Amino acid sequence: MSCCRIILLSSILLAAFMSGASQDRSFEVPDYGGEAMHYNLKYGIFNIGFASISFLEDSTGCGYNIKAEAQSIGLAKIFRNLNYRFECCMDQTAGLPNSAIMSLKDGKYNFYNELIFDQYSRIDSAIISSLLSGKHIVSKNIYDILTGFYHFRMNFINESIDIGEDVVIKTFFTDEPWDLRIRYAGEETIKTDSGEVACYKYNPVTIIGRYFHHDNDMSVWFTKDENHIPVRIRLDLKVGSINGELEEYQKPTSNH
């Protein structure tokens, strides 16, 4: 996966996701119906793209339709024309994915895949059917990347977690099971265009090597209130820092 692909993928996903606590505990199902978030992506002082995440009720029987998109703009688009879309249908009762789509366009490179999740046919596992790679038998109650994000946001952002404690969510991503690990970094007040905002800071654990110097080179700030809005993301890459700032927020129409 290219550096640009990692940057935009990380930016729109905004990191996050199931704690080291037992999976048998009860979780709240995410209910952010009607919410939409729009971000401006910058490399230094330069605008390089925008990203958005929406959580909408669907009238076709999909349940909740969650969509994340990112595109390059301006000069960045001239050098690298990127257009990424992630989409899934989430079961409104269980909070698990029923289906998911990944569409990546990077210049002449195109990638497209669809997943169907069968969470209920087997007692001890789930079945995932991939358009590209066929059938996979995976652990029960597995998330895709988007439902995993909202599961984390609903259930694991709070003051009870200790600084340095890891949060781990089992997801199915790029056609294989993937444990996404996030580390709580404490509370922090940040300056935004709207003023100072009290936040919880999390560091999705990054792999040291080609792109990152350290395992905490990605940071996400969630508002310290009941909404836990991801207002900022930063990636400290070897080639410089990428910042994503929340520019527009549409509140959920649900009672959350």
What proportions of the chain, in percent to the nearest 5, are helix, strand and coil? Answer: 10, 55, 35
Query: pTM score, two decimals?
Result: 0.83
Strands 35-43 and 46-57, by their bridges, are antiparallel
For residue 60, give every residue at least 6 positions away whose Cβ sits within 8 Å of its Cβ, in sequence order, or none. none
Average pLDDT along the chain: 84
Q: Which residues pair with 180 in a beta bridge?
A: 169
Q: What is the pLDDT of residues 38-76, one digit of tens each?
A: 999 988 888 889 999 999 988 777 889 999 999 888 766
Buried b / exposed e along 127-151 (16+ C-beta atoms within 10 A):
ebebeeeeebebeebbbbbbbbbbb
Q: What is the pLDDT of residues 143-197, one digit of tens each?
A: 998 999 899 999 999 878 899 999 899 999 889 998 888 889 999 999 998 899 9
